[in-house]
Amino acid sequence: MGSIAQTAPGAAPLRSGRKAAVSPDPLDLTKAPAKGWKRVQWFAETHLTIPHGYGRGKPFVLRPWQLMILKGLFPMRGGRPSKGLLSLPRGNGKSSLSAVIALYLIHCEEEWSPVVLLCGADLRSAGIVLNMARRMTELSPELLARTKVYQDRLYVPGNDGTVQAMPSDVGALQGWRGHAIVDELHVVSADVWESMLLATGKQENSLTLAISTPAVTEESVMWSLVKENREHPDRDFFFREFTSDTSHEINCKHCEKSSNPALGDFLSSKSMASVRSSTRPSEYRRLRLGQWPTKVEDAFLSTSDLDAITKPRPLLDGERVVLALDGSLTGDSTAITLASVEQVPHLELMRIWEPGREPEGYVVPMLEVEDEIRLLCSRFDVVEVVADPWLYSRSLEVLSGEGLPVVRHPQSRERMGPLTSGLYEAVVNQLVTISESPILRSHFLAARVLETPQGPVLRKAAKSSPNKIDSAVSALMAWGRATYYANRPVERRRLVRSRR
């Protein structure tokens, strides 16, 4: 695995080997307030610089809404909470605020050997906050003079302080102690959250803070914390939620403002509108309006969406296409869809096998499916035959052995999530068309969306639902690969002339 600095976005490569000598003296805090949020504000505005984006190169001046958060985390009187959760939509500077708090905890708490764990779903996501803190350190002469900057951590010899990136893994968290800042709690399991609380609980005055967008489902540790603190606030648990009314329209200006405190500052209304036009409504509500998903699942596409992209044109023999198979064995349907390889791909359902009204005993004729693929490959210029090998591994081996361009395409969430988002955006912007097929249309209308950490994926309304979605899934795979080929640079061969 690569280093944190190499895998995190915007990271600059660091030289290996011995680091330059740093000052053993702690940061001069004689002019800092004695404690509380005013001390954090003094540290940020005196020693930190905005590393990139809006205001890059200027002092890190905390906004009133950020100070409101810090007042809850670092009160001027009494003890501070040991745990916290900030639910905040994307685009409002979660990573930069996390970096400010992490650097404050190792430089200004006046404790020996402070440790701040930066936890994410994996090392890459944890490295986002680490690299923000690293860059802030490099831009501050006072901090850089006291900090050894490594690829996976920051180390302050003067007080033996460390900021360390960690994956959200129970085993990796064993044996640590100190503070923890959790990025995107919505992808962290309950076991990992409990492990972090046990690790940080070893030290007096420790802080475990999660900063996250809402989860894709209420079956999450984040929702448990939100629900508990909405109903029974705990003085030892800081909770702040930036959200909006789920009953309002998706373009409600009041909801945009109430859920996005940075709107009109370093988050623009123009960028919000751009994201809204190309994002599924449920995802926009969750990620940009801070709303929790309702229990009613959205349909993937509406009738008006399909009307706008339906074109009465058949694919022509010899046309360059991708062939996608979504197959079953017994009770479900099996579909073959073609997608033309061009900037605006055209999707056409070519063949479907469905059980009758009495599916008991029905078995998909796999040899017939194989023959249909051979026939289509003889009619069209097929650049790929894509299918999930789970049920059709034997068929794919046979077809590949015959020289057909077979590509195995497992229907994992990691693959299907980005494809689902991409096809939805293509439909909204009318960058895809479909044939006039009642079956393909009905399968798209039956498709529902399950929001996952890897992105939205298609599913039936219920496992027992008689409504099929298989041709929609095969169309999704065909569109993804056709788009890839349409945008791949064409290799040009240089003409070599022989001398006579």
Helix (H) or strand (E) holding 326: strand 320-326
pLDDT of 438 above 60: yes
pLDDT for the residue numbered 167 = 79
Tell which residue, 75, 79, 80, 41, has the closest CA to residue 61. 41
Q: What is the pLDDT of residues 322-373, one digit of tens each?
A: 999 998 876 678 999 999 999 999 999 999 998 764 455 678 889 999 999 9
DSSP 3-state assignment of 129?
helix
Please name the residue that has the structure tokens 């005055």: 205
The per-residue b/e assignment along 5-34, b for 16 or more CB within 10 angstroms, e otherwise, is bebbeebeebeeeeeeebeeeebeeeebee
**Token digits of residue 329:** 């064995």
Q: What is the pLDDT of residue 116?
A: 94
Phi, psi angle pair for 46, to nearest 5°? -95, -40
Q: What is the pLDDT of residues 439-490, one digit of tens each?
A: 999 899 889 888 888 888 998 877 767 788 999 999 999 999 999 999 986 5
Nearest to 133 by CA among 220, 193, 44: 44
Asked whether the beta carbons of 302 and 330 are under 8 A apart, the reply is: no
What pLDDT was estimated at residue 494?
53
Averaged pLDDT for residues 406-414: 92
> Highest mean pLDDT: which of 275-289, 290-304, 328-342, 468-482?
468-482
Instruction: Give 93's Cβ-side CA count (13 Å radius).
Output: 26
Q: What is the mean pLDDT of residues 155-169?
A: 88
Do 184 and 125 contact (CB within 8 A), yes or no? Answer: yes
Distance between CA 218 and CA 99 in Å, rounded?
A: 28
Contact 319, 457 (CB under 8 A): no
- Name the more confident of 361 and 87: 87
**Mean pLDDT within 63-74:** 96
pLDDT of 201: 64
**Quick check: 34 pLDDT over 70?**
yes
Nearest to 350 by CA among 373, 331, 318, 381: 373
Residue 4 confidence (pLDDT) above 90: no
One-letter identity of residue 199? A
pTM tops 0.95: no
| 2 vs 98 pLDDT, higher one | 98
Please give the single-letter amino acid code of residue 90.
R
Question: CA 106 to CA 115: how far, in whole Å?
Answer: 7
Q: What is the mean pLDDT of residues 125-140?
A: 92
Q: What is the pLDDT of residue 491?
A: 55
Q: How far apart are the first and last CA of the chain?
A: 55
**C-alpha 250: how far from its chain's center?**
21
pLDDT for the residue 63: 96
Closest listed residue to residue 67, CA positions, set 30, 42, 103 = 42
Give CA torsion, residues 337, 341, 344, 349, to 10 deg: -10
As a whole number of angstroms, the distance between CA 65 and CA 475 comes to 46
- Domains of the chain as residue ranges with CATH: 4-242 (3.40.50.300), 303-487 (3.30.420.240)
What is d(CA 193, CA 119) in angstroms, rounded to the nearest whole number? 10
Gap between the Cα atoms of 112 and 367, Å rounded: 71
State the Cα–Cα distance between residues 261 and 124, nearest whole angstrom: 27
Average pLDDT score, the chain? 87
Cα(210)–Cα(101) distance, rounded to whole angstroms?
A: 12
Q: What is the dihedral of CA 15, 18, 21, 26, to 10 degrees?
A: 80
Single-letter amino acid code for the residue at 390: W
Q: Where are the alpha helices (DSSP H) in 202-293?
A: 221-231, 253-259, 269-277, 281-288
AA letter at 451 = E
**Bridge partners, residue 116, by sequence:** 163, 179
Q: Look up tokens 């061969």; give the residue.
A: 493
- How confident is the model at residue 474, as a pLDDT? 96
The string of DSSP letters for 24-89 reads -SPP--TTS-SSHHHHHHHHHHHH-B--SSTTTTSB-PPPHHHHHHHHHHS-SSSPPPSEEEEE--
Residue type, 133: A
pLDDT in the model for residue 13 = 43
Q: What secondary structure letter does DSSP report for 267?
A: B
Distance between CA 431 and CA 424 in Å, rounded? 10
Instruction: Identify which has the larger pLDDT, 475 or 121.
Output: 475
